[in-house]
Amino acid sequence: MQRPGAVLQAAVSCALWLVAAAPGMTDEPVPEERPGSFHWQRAARDLGAVMGLGVAWYVSQFEVNKLDFDFDRTFSDQARRLTGDGFRFDDNDRFLNVGHSFTGSYYHLLARVHGAAMWQAMLFDLTASTAWELTVEHREVVSLNDTVTTSVGGVALGEAMFRMGDFFARSRPTLASRLLMGVLSPARALTWLYGDTPRPSLAGFDENGLADDAHHRFALALGGASIPDLGWRSAALLDLELIDLPSYGRAATASRSLSGGEMTRLAVAFTGNQDDMQSLTIQARSSLWGRYRQDTGDDASLAGHASFLGSSTAFELAFREMGEVTDFLMAVHVLGPSADVTLHRSDWRVRMAADLYPDFAMVRPFALDDEADRPMEVPGQSTLHHDYYYAAGVTAAARVEASCRRARAGASAEWSGYDAIEGLDRHQRAYTSPTGIHHEAIRDDRDMTDQRLTLRLFTEIPVPFTDLALGGGADYLRRDGSATGASREHDELRFTLQAIYSL
């Protein structure tokens, strides 16, 4: 089950940062201090407080939660739970399960703000999730999907939020930067309570007051998108990218190993109007480990290249109205190889990147769009009740972008394929729970597959004498799926036109 403790803690943290923002502001840069050691005792105490709120909620919702009780508080039942029968996928509502990624991102933030390295934060996420599954929810199945989504899905989200919050912490200490720091990385408020105040970057600030020790592009785009059969709808995009490497985009020679999180991106896209959401996408990506090399000369001409070869992880949550089907996907792009190469020639820059991920996902079966397609009286696969199934899959993505000063153009392609994981659902056999609820065995363990192909072209042209640019794009999406006795395909082409403000 989802825990609201992290949400409450985040809200308190943001409020604390607003109170703490005004006093002591100064433009004088002091030596930058990055986390040097993991204060795990602090992180554990904060985690205990967050989980305490979650336990209080869990107990208060006993009548709801007891529907998931499959094991009794006996040695024999608990032994059976931990020796095979208890390791299953749960069948909770999909929105409840999506929330675990955001809870995991907060666990990740708790570790990172207290000095944890990337690998330590990942272990912290896994430990926190496992502790909850084994202790608080000891009468439920040990949810495999919750463990993966919380411990792995929270890494990309949490790392992107941590890096960007840390970037604003190093920026000029204004109310705006402190507010953005608190919103993007709310757990940082806890380090302030321990006496660790933000320290501006020793490298100084750019013309916008942002830390001048990293490359960033923060863009807000507002406009419209043409939707097949619906016409034009409002479209908005918030795209935050941070490359936390002082030399990137500058004349320098560098060669170093990356320890995780130096290249992050967080994007939220919305299409629709105030009465109807046509699509919503949340994406996060973070580099993990690899090698970075750069040779861009030693003068202002900036000629040469920069490259990253290593691994990364990502997270995606997507809703989209597609004809008669409301498509849904939550994918944890677990860990895969990544390459990112940038070529510089004076004011010109060409950037090419590619990723390949194994995936764990919750997918709405695109082949099924009618209640008659589902034997609703048969419990088991979550798709029978909540319009999704658990899947293993793979995602391959590539993108290229060329820019000259403020003008940009590029293209991207992404393909994902998913196959239902069978045999691990909660109701694989018939049984009666300790609370007296009888569960029938699965009699329709369907074989389901889904694929998605996305192609995109875009361009941005600066508007003279302003900080704005006009952006246009063309997006092609092909979606298809199959289930036992059913299949469906859908193609969609949409165009966007937006005004873009970027820092």
Asked whether 382 and 374 are in contact (CB, 8 A), the reply is no
Residue 2 confidence class, pLDDT cut points 50, 70, 90: very low
Rounded to the nearest integer, the mean pLDDT of the chain is 86
Q: Would you state the pLDDT for residue 382? A: 62
Place of tokens 């979550």: 382
Q: What angle do CA 13, 281, 213 make, to 5 degrees?
A: 55
In a domain, 259, yes or no: yes
In a domain, 251, yes or no: yes
Residues with Cβ within 8 Å of residue 113, at least 6 apart in sequence: 35, 162, 185, 187, 188, 190, 191
Do residues 185 and 227 both lie within one domain? no
Mean pLDDT of 466-485: 93
Residues with Cβ within 8 Å of residue 83, at least 6 apart in sequence: none
Do residues 35 and 179 both lie within one domain? yes
Q: Would you state the pLDDT for residue 21? A: 36
Question: Could you tell me the residue range of the domain that residue 308 belongs to?
Answer: 215-502
| pLDDT at 229 > cutoff 50 | yes
| pLDDT at 488 > cutoff 80 | yes
Do residues 11 and 125 both lie within one domain? yes
CA distance 390 to 65: 21
Q: Would you state the pLDDT for residue 24? A: 36
| pLDDT at 27 > cutoff 90 | no
CA distance 193 to 36: 18
Dig out the tokens for 300 from the structure: 């202002």
277-326 residue pLDDT tens: 899 999 999 999 999 999 998 777 789 999 999 999 999 999 998 877 88
In a domain, 206, yes or no: no
Mean pLDDT of 464-476: 95
Mean pLDDT of 454-479: 96
In a domain, 200, yes or no: no
Do residues 221 and 189 both lie within one domain? no
Share of the chain above pLDDT 70, in %: 89
> In the listed set 137, 160, 193, which residue is the last one of a domain according to the structure?
193
Partner residues linked to 491 by β-bridges = 478
pTM of the model: 0.89
34-44 residue pLDDT tens: 446 888 888 99
Dig out the tokens for 42 from the structure: 């602090």
Mean pLDDT of 68-77: 89
Q: Would you state the pLDDT for residue 113? A: 92
Phi, psi dihedrals of residue 318, rounded to the nearest 5°? -140, 130
In a domain, 207, yes or no: no
Question: Of 61-70, 168-177, 442-451, which one has max mean pLDDT?
Answer: 168-177
Q: Domain tally for the chain?
A: 2
Do residues 10 and 144 both lie within one domain? yes
Dig out the tokens for 303 from the structure: 């000629």
Do residues 186 and 223 both lie within one domain? no
Do residues 285 and 361 both lie within one domain? yes
Q: Would you state the pLDDT for residue 9? A: 40
Asked whether 478 and 490 are in contact (CB, 8 A), the reply is yes
Mean pLDDT of 263-287: 93
380-426 residue pLDDT tens: 556 667 788 899 999 999 999 999 989 999 999 999 999 999 888 88
Do residues 305 and 226 both lie within one domain? yes
Do residues 280 and 177 both lie within one domain? no
Q: Would you state the pLDDT for residue 311? A: 96
Do residues 246 and 349 both lie within one domain? yes
Q: Would you state the pLDDT for residue 419? A: 95
In a domain, 84, yes or no: yes
Do residues 159 and 274 both lie within one domain? no
Q: Would you state the pLDDT for residue 10? A: 42
| pLDDT at 485 > cutoff 50 | yes
Q: Would you state the pLDDT for residue 36? A: 60
Partner residues linked to 361 by β-bridges = 331, 391
